[in-house]
Amino acid sequence: MTSEKFTVEKVLSIQRWADNLFSFTMTRPAHFKFTAGQFARIGIKVDGELVVRAYSVVSSPYDEVLEFFSIVVPDGAFTSRLQHLQVGDELYLEKIPYGFLTLARYQQPLPHDLWLLATGTGLAPFLSMLQDFETWQQYQKIFLVYSVRSQAELAYVEKIKQIHEDFGEGRPDFSFIPVITREPNAPLHERLPVLIANGALEQFAGQAFNPETSHIMLCGNPQMVDDTKEALKQRGLTMNRRGVGNIAVENYW
């Protein structure tokens, strides 16, 4: 089964962001094609058995390597071992990508303002989308909202700036909005559902959610996703079904 469904790839680099967060790159086989926002299934051998988990791809669909962003789950069968990766180690990659958290799912409303709301490693698919020129061509305004617990967990900040310069050509209508929930002095420090319910997120962004124009994507902690969906629904926004609606989420946890 392993040889039929998976290829064996090598770890190329590792980046430690915080005690509980790291990212890694690995070789990308020529056949592995994906759409920005999709996830891959990665495996490691544990006591002779292949353990597989889903990881959204950080990389651009056009990159020569694959990058992933991971949290360390204490005593987790997968990440407790994955965190000790070394350059040159082998990982298993399932040959096909998965997932429907892609911009292609939107048919109505037509593209205008794009909101990418993430917690933790849920940032990954949005980094991939922002490294696709088509995203910048489609939308007039883009807001990347990234919620973490502490400043130390605010990963990829420099990369986000570089993506804005390289792919967005420094467009003024892109906003990166960090939310740091355990630092009360941060400009935004409440949970995303609260910031939506009280209007603080829109006020900070200088843009209101609009059922007629807004595309809103959620990825991250399942409780955040559920609570944020409900807060958005209370504002008159709808789930995207069969291409119609504002809110899209990924469910692979």
Question: For 132-182, what is each residue's pLDDT tens digit?
Answer: 999 999 999 999 999 999 999 999 999 999 999 999 999 999 999 999 999
For tokens 């949970």, what's the residue?
Answer: 191
Residues 237 and 247: beta-carbon distance below 8 Å: yes
Low-confidence ranges of the chain (pLDDT < 50): 1
At 141 the pLDDT is: 97
Residues of the chain with CATH 3.40.50.80: 103-249
CATH superfamily of 2-94: Translation factors (2.40.30.10)
Say what the pLDDT of residue 73 is.
79
Provide the mean pLDDT of the chain.
94
Spatial separation of the C-alpha atoms in residues 175 and 157, rounded to whole Å: 12
For the segment(s) 103-249, the CATH number from 3.40.50.80, 2.130.10.10, 3.20.20.70, 3.90.480.20 is 3.40.50.80
